[in-house]
Amino acid sequence: MELVPVLARWLHFLAGIMWIGLLYYFNFVQVPALKAAAADGTAPGITKHVAPRALLYFRWSAVVTWLAGAALLGSNFGSAFMLAKGYAGIGIGAWLGTIMLFNVWALIWPNQQKILGLKPATDEEKNKARRVALLASRTNMMLSIPMLFFMAGGLTHKAAFGL
Amino acid sequence: MKNPLDSIWGTIISGLVLTAILYYVVKSVLM
């Protein structure tokens, strides 16, 4: 038994569940909860105590997921990302995951820092940041659906692609 | 037209449609 792929797959699943779990938490729970909380003045409880912690685990579990996935691909890394013959399924999954990681660090986190007051921003900048962060988060939720379909098959996906 | 990503259901349906499109591309073009 090769130890590295076994540990990499385990870590990829653990971190991936935390990442996508928190993504679904944001979209299914926190966004609607903040709307309701804003109406009765309790939103600061969420934005001060919950959101920063959720974002901390969210963005770092994304990094760990990607690195463990890269380790799991090992020598297949290049073939997967170049969508080589027989690798297109997992390659599409890997590309979708990579785009999602980019969205986390380049769009969601910098804009959330403005929204939560961790970085100085005017009200107008905060409103723009809210829109960009929401759309980036929703984009990731949309991409997670095909990403998990292609990832779930690993390198073979025999049932779906007849390899 | 409303942005489908503004609603949870629009997002989920967009994801399912994208899955079908990418599945078709992988199966018929890239394999």
Q: Quick one: CA dihedral A44, A113, A128, A105, positive or negative?
A: negative
Q: Which residues contact A156 (CB under 8 A, 6 or more apart)?
A: A163
Distance CA A111, CA B1 (A): 26
pTM reported for the whole predicted model? 0.93
CB A88 within 8 A of CB A25: no
Amino acid identity of residue A47, one-letter, is: T
The distance of A23 to chain B (nearest Cα, Å) reads 12
Q: What is the pLDDT of residues B1-27, one digit of tens each?
A: 799 999 999 999 999 999 999 999 988
- Cross-chain Cβ contact A89/B26 below 8 Å: yes
Q: Which residues contact A11 (CB under 8 A, 6 or more apart)?
A: A64, A68
- The ipTM assigned to this model is 0.94
Lowest mean pLDDT across A2-6, A22-26, A36-40: A2-6
CB pairs under 8 A between A and B: 53
- B 1-30 → A contacts, CB under 8 A: 3, 5-6, 8, 11-12, 14-16, 18-19, 22-23, 25-27, 30
